[in-house]
Amino acid sequence: MGVSNNITAVLNFIAFLASIPIIAAGIWLAQNPDNECIRNFRWPIVILGILVLLVSLAGFVGAYWNKQGLLALYLFSMALLIVILLILLIFAFVVTRPDGTYHVPGRAYEESRLDGFSAWLRDHITSSGSWAKIRSCLADSDTCIKLAQEYITADQFFNSHLSSLQSGCCKPPSVCGYSYVSPIMWVNPANPTADPDCYMWSNDQNQLCYNCNACKAGLLGNLRKEWRKANVILIVAVVVLIFVYVIACSAFKNAQTEELFDRYKRGWV
């Protein structure tokens, strides 16, 4: 195995290592309660990470055993995967840039407005056709039920740092002026006309505010925070992959030059 192939093999091992945080970020996203209810968003990152891992292994095998055809396939496939990852990163950054959350006076948690998030997220996640299944999934989860086990008094609840999903789905909007009984039971709204969601609230544990725009906004708020955290990991991994790919291309060209030079010395050309 020539020097250039040695370098390529080491680089592919680095690319292999870079695929691990991509897969880990995808698994972390998929295991979050809100993503469990949005199936289309659960596994794309994991699949891309696994593809990077497999392509890196193919490149390592090609470099170690000097399989030029396999190395060429590796370079093409890795270039394609890097482009897909870059497109995904740019797209995720654009659609998660708008932030619909706002601070509520006297509360530690924030609330969200649906129109504050990107139109693409609203159209593809909170549209009427998609929301029915998501709503049913959220109602079957313990997202809201566990709040009743964690907080007893109103002060405890108002000083808690709820997730955007819990803030939007598990209680009525603060502007409605409901009186606290428990985290999932509220009565006597002082200002029921302040927001259409005030009429959507129900103390039925299967209803709560799952039909509220606030719940839809809370789901988008959770997704936004999670994807922006995952983007940091993905950016680092993509930078490493690009660096590795550029050097691997150079090493591949050098390996071909070495092979031609060896043939020339042996009188094959």
pLDDT tens-digit profile of 176-232? 999 999 999 999 999 999 999 999 999 999 999 999 999 999 999 999 998 898 899
Give the long-range contacts of residues 93-99, CB within 8 A, separation 24 or more.
Answer: 93/231, 94/118, 95/120, 95/121, 96/121, 96/223, 96/224, 96/227, 96/228, 96/231, 99/221, 99/224
Rounded Cα distance between 44 and 88, Å, is 10
CA 68 to CA 59: how far, in whole Å? 10
Tell whether the model's pLDDT for residue 34 goes beyond 70: no
Q: Tokens 């530690």 sit at which residue? A: 108
173 vs 26, 79, 118, 166, CA distance in Å? 32, 48, 21, 11
Give the model's confidence band at 259: pLDDT under 50 very low, under 70 low, under 90 confident, else very high. Answer: low
The whole model's pTM is what?
A: 0.85
Q: What is the mean pLDDT of residues 233-258?
A: 82
Task: Identify the residue with better confidence: 32 or 107.
Answer: 107
Question: Running DSSP on this structure, what letter comes out for residue 212?
Answer: S
3-state secondary structure of 186: strand
